[in-house]
Structure 1
Amino acid sequence: MKIKEVTNYLEKLAPLQYAEDFDNVGLLVGSYDSEISGVLVTLDTLEETVDEAIEKNCNLIVSFHPIIFGGLKKLNGNNYVEHVVLKAIKNDIAIYATHTALDNSNYGVSAKMCEVLGLTNNKILIPKKGIIKKLTTYVPTENAITLREALFKVGAGNIGNYDNCSFNIEGNGTYRGNENSNPVIGEKGVLHTEKETQISIIFESKNENTILKALHENHPYEEVAYEIVETENIHQNIGMGMIGELPTEMEEKDFLLFLKQTMKTDCVRHSNFIDKKIKKVAVLGGSGSFAISNAKKAGADAYVSADFKYHEFFKAENSILLADIGHYESEQFTKNLLVDYLTKKFTNFAIILSEKSTNPIYYI
């Protein structure tokens, strides 16, 4: 089995189109065509991670964080990133990263936090824009039903709780083919008018290639006229963070102690108590200070994330309990999520959870 089969399956969980523009996700080192001997799943890829992969006969590392984030201009082994990449290349080990693609997945990092904390009625905290696109095409009216059904079949026309969504306008299309044309309807060199239906249909960006393939395979014209635009619609099931509810409300101190134990952290930094019981909880793995206002707007009693700076705790404004549990701690269960996901699909080679802690922060 080739690496491409594993990465294709990973991208059903976390399509690369879900990643933020600043990110670097996908296969960072290695070839998609390499045969797999085993997969090591980790939060970060360090030299000791590559050593662990070698020891356990794994030639693919699936890492949450990308080891290559900015551009690499040289590979001289002058820093830890270059050391890792050089060692991986030397030992024919591929490295694949999911990062914000998995952050934005409805079954990703924040969903795993909700599961660990026992939250229910979970919803995306910050639904993502730029995921929904619109295809507009023009087809002879007698072929419109066939084309629409073909597009629906491959996932076009789905939005929220609805499917088979489209908008259709009938009108007249004109065209004239030159001497090299081969018109399906009409004659070359002769201006032709055809009763056509304009079909407008939305789709998720991850399905664009599949939808364009279906369009060309099911459209009768030699030359298919179409346009694709990005819409301003948000996708309610894709985005950063989640908000849910505890089974039973808790006193603030009890909630923080529960966080400390459940999220296996030695330290919880928090804002001032707000004299309010905690029931509705927002979560976001990793650096989540940018979403404080979103958590407040959503009516969360508490917001659990990481990497809050000094002045950002003031943003609580006595209306929400902010809890910084640590970057690694907020994302630590992500590798378990990935192992469970891959193990259900692949049984003919080892899917191994890394035993190494890659947390660079220690407490005393």
Structure 2
Amino acid sequence: MKIKELTAYLEKIAPLPYQESYDNAGLIVGNPNHEVKGVLVSLDSTEDVVEEAIQKGCNLIVAHHPIVFKGLKKITGKNYVERTIIKAIKNDIAIYATHTNLDNVVEGVNFKIAEILELQQVRILAPKGDILMKLVVFVPTEYTGQLLDALYAAGAGEIGNYSQCSFRVEGKGTFKPNSKANPVIGQANYLEEVEENRVEVIFPAYLKSQILAAMRRGHVYEEVAHYVTLLNNQHQEVGSGAFGVLANPMAETDFLAYLKQKMNVSVIRHTSLFNKPIQKVAVCGGAGSFLLNDAIRSGADIFITADYKYHEFFDAENYIIIADIGHYESEQFTKELLKDYICKKITNFAVHLSETPTNPVKYYY
């Protein structure tokens, strides 16, 4: 398998267009046409992780955090980013990152946290809008099935747990081909009336080009009457954070102890407790303070995340408990998530979990 085949598979799970604007997910170092010899899965890419890949015979590192966030004007080895890039290139090791795009999908980073905490009825906490489009296209009635099959194969018509979703209305289309036309139905210079269906399907906006290409392949007309609209609708399977419920309510201190044990953390920074049970839980791996209002609106009793600043804790306003468990700690199980995804697809080369500690934060007890 080539690197580009493996990354294409990962990008079906977490499409690159779903990453945040500041992010740099994707293949950062390496030739996509090289054969994969082994994969090392890590939360971060560092010099030590590259060395581990060398020792284990892996020529591809799949990491959560990109090693490069900003453009590099020079690569001289003056910092850890440049040294990591140099070492990877010298040893012909590719580095691929799947970051906020993996945060923003169902069954991604935040759903993994929910799984570890054994939450139920899990959903996206803050679904994204303006990432869905609707295609309206007109087609002769007898060719409707052929067209829809092509659109479905290209990724249209999927809504949550449902596929092949469409809407159609029967009507009558009219057209008059000129002398240069090559009509499938009718004759040049004669007005035609055809029984047609108006077909509507929804699709992710990043698939627009392939959806329109599929429409043209599956349509019989020389000129296809259609239009595409960007929808303000929220995509319930794409967005930030996750929300779920515990099977049974827990006392606050019991839940904090449970959280420490499940997430393998040594310390939790939190706001004041309310002396009432916890059952509804909001989570966000990594820095999640931007989701506080969404967590409050969800009715969550506690919001578990990381990287909270001192003054941001005041924003809880006694509406919710904020629990900061640390950035690395909140995302540490992402390695297992990625390994599971890769192993479902790959059987002919080794996939290793990195044993290199990459958490830059240390604790003194």
Per the normalisation by structure 1, the TM-score is: 0.92
Q: Measure, in 2, the Cα distance between the counterparts of 1:140 and 1:335.
A: 50
- Residue aligning to 1:297: 297
Q: CA contact under 8 A between 1:166 and 1:202: conserved in structure 2?
A: no
Letter in 2 for 1:267: V
- Residue aligning to 2:171: 170
**Please, which moves more after superposition, 107-116 or 211-220?**
211-220
Residue 333, structure 1, aligned to residue 326, structure 2: no
Q: Measure, in 2, the Cα distance between the counterparts of 1:38 and 1:306.
A: 32
Cα 1:46–1:194, aligned 2, differ >3 Å: closer, same or farther?
farther
Give the drift of 1:210. Answer: 4.4
Q: Secondary structure at the match of 1:50?
A: helix
- Residue aligning to 1:122: 122
Q: Deviations over 1:219-271 (max 9, x none)?
A: 11234343333211112222211111223322222222222222122221100
- Residue aligning to 1:27: 27
Q: Measure, in 1, the Cα distance between the counterparts of 2:230 and 2:221.
A: 25
Aligned residues: 362
Q: Secondary structure at the match of 2:143?
A: helix
Give the drift of 1:80. Answer: 1.8
Residue 226, structure 1, aligned to residue 226, structure 2: yes
In structure 2, the gaps of 5 or more residues are: none
Q: CA contact under 8 A between 1:158 and 1:165: conserved in structure 2?
A: no
Cα 1:194–1:146, aligned 2, differ >3 Å: closer, same or farther?
farther
Q: CA contact under 8 A between 1:302 and 1:320: conserved in structure 2?
A: yes
Q: CA contact under 8 A between 2:263 and 2:329: conserved in structure 1?
A: yes
Q: Deviations over 1:272-304 (max 9, x none)?
A: 111211111111100000111111111111110
Give the drift of 1:18. Answer: 2.2
- Residue aligning to 2:351: 351
**Please, which moves more after superposition, 63-72 or 150-159?**
150-159
Q: Measure, in 1, the Cα distance between the counterparts of 2:73 and 2:212.
A: 36
Q: CA contact under 8 A between 2:150 and 2:217: conserved in structure 1?
A: no
Q: How does 1:1-364 map to 2 (within 5 A)?
A: 1-163=1-163, 164-168=165-169, 170-174=171-175, 176=177, 179=180, 182-187=182-187, 190=189, 192-195=191-194, 196-205=196-205, 207-364=207-364
Cα 1:313–1:166, aligned 2, differ >3 Å: closer, same or farther?
same
Cα 1:32–1:225, aligned 2, differ >3 Å: closer, same or farther?
farther
In structure 1, the gaps of 5 or more residues are: none
Q: Measure, in 1, the Cα distance between the counterparts of 2:70 and 2:179.
A: 49
Moved over 6 A (4+): none
Letter in 2 for 1:234: Q
Q: Measure, in 2, the Cα distance between the counterparts of 1:218 and 1:310.
A: 57
Q: CA contact under 8 A between 1:304 and 1:323: conserved in structure 2?
A: yes
Q: Deviations over 1:192-211 (max 9, x none)?
A: 54534432211123544543
Letter in 2 for 1:172: G
Q: CA contact under 8 A between 2:280 and 2:300: conserved in structure 1?
A: yes
Give the drift of 1:34. Answer: 0.7
Give the drift of 1:56. Answer: 1.0
Cα 1:323–1:55, aligned 2, differ >3 Å: closer, same or farther?
same
Give the drift of 1:169. Answer: 5.8
Q: Deviations over 1:170-194 (max 9, x none)?
A: 3434354564x54433456x36545
**Please, which moves more after superposition, 302-311 or 213-222?**
213-222
Q: Measure, in 2, the Cα distance between the counterparts of 1:187 and 1:34.
A: 53
Q: Measure, in 2, the Cα distance between the counterparts of 1:191 and 1:28.
A: 57
Cα 1:130–1:186, aligned 2, differ >3 Å: closer, same or farther?
same
Q: CA contact under 8 A between 2:137 and 2:198: conserved in structure 1?
A: yes
% same residue: 52
Letter in 2 for 1:165: S
Cα 1:226–1:75, aligned 2, differ >3 Å: closer, same or farther?
farther
Letter in 2 for 1:224: V
Per the normalisation by structure 2, the TM-score is: 0.92
Q: Measure, in 2, the Cα distance between the counterparts of 1:169 and 1:289.
A: 50
